[in-house]
Amino acid sequence: DISPLLKDPVAFRTLIDLLEDHVRASFPKIDIIAGLDSRGFLIGPPLAQRLGIGFVPIRKKGKLPGPTESVSYALEYGKAELEIQSDAVEPGQKVVIVDDLLATGGTMCAACELLKRLKAEILECLVIIELKLLKGSEKLNSIPFYSLLQYD
């Protein structure tokens, strides 16, 4: 739960500072931050603004206007669907995907699939918290992954 971070302006600023430092040190060239519905929407825009780049939302089905790409994926308790606007990124654009938490990895993998369909270059999947016991990062295969905090 990142609610305490969001309530505390100093803690939230520090979080964005840490993420910005990591992205700047790791990727000299980046075009877009993509944020996952819904907490990635809280982290992604301030990070993108700091980096001087755009932000793209990846949302639950039916929430985005215009033509979209869609992918279904399995959850621990059923199925879900994610969408991205068809013109959200251009082929070859360099993207970092952000979210608050990586658990089983299903949502993050679905987001990667959507960006691959749009021919984006995924530089990294970036989260605040990783639940290592659930081994979600293993599902990302060869896509680089980074988490600030890890719990077993």
**117 catalytically annotated:** no
Please give the class, per CATH, of domain 2-150: alpha beta
**76 catalytically annotated:** yes
Say whether pLDDT at 3 is over 80. Answer: yes
Residue 137's pLDDT band (boundaries 50, 70, 90)? very high
Residues 6+ apart with CB under 8 A from 24: 51
Residue 75's pLDDT band (boundaries 50, 70, 90)? confident
Of the listed ranges 1-5, 9-13, 32-36, 95-99, the one predicted with least confidence: 1-5
Q: Cis ω on the peptide bond leading into residue 38 (within 30° of 0)?
A: yes
Reported pTM: 0.96
pLDDT at 111: 98
Task: Give the C-alpha distances (Å, rounded to integers) separating 73 from 38, 45, 47, 70, 124.
Answer: 17, 25, 27, 10, 20
Of the listed ranges 15-19, 109-113, 140-144, the one predicted with least confidence: 140-144
Say whether pLDDT at 118 is over 90. Answer: yes
Bridge-based pairing of strands 94-102 and 68-75 is unpaired
The catalytic position among 13, 39, 59, 90 is 39
Report how far residue 105's alpha carbon sits from residue 110's, in angstroms, rounded to the nearest whole number.
9
The catalytic position among 59, 76, 83, 113 is 76
pLDDT at 30: 98
Say whether pLDDT at 76 is over 80. Answer: no
Residues 6+ apart with CB under 8 A from 66: 85, 86, 87
DSSP state letter for 12: H
Say whether pLDDT at 141 is over 90. Answer: no
Average pLDDT over residues 102-120: 96
Average pLDDT over residues 4-13: 97
Residues 125 and 146 sit within 8 Å (Cβ to Cβ): yes
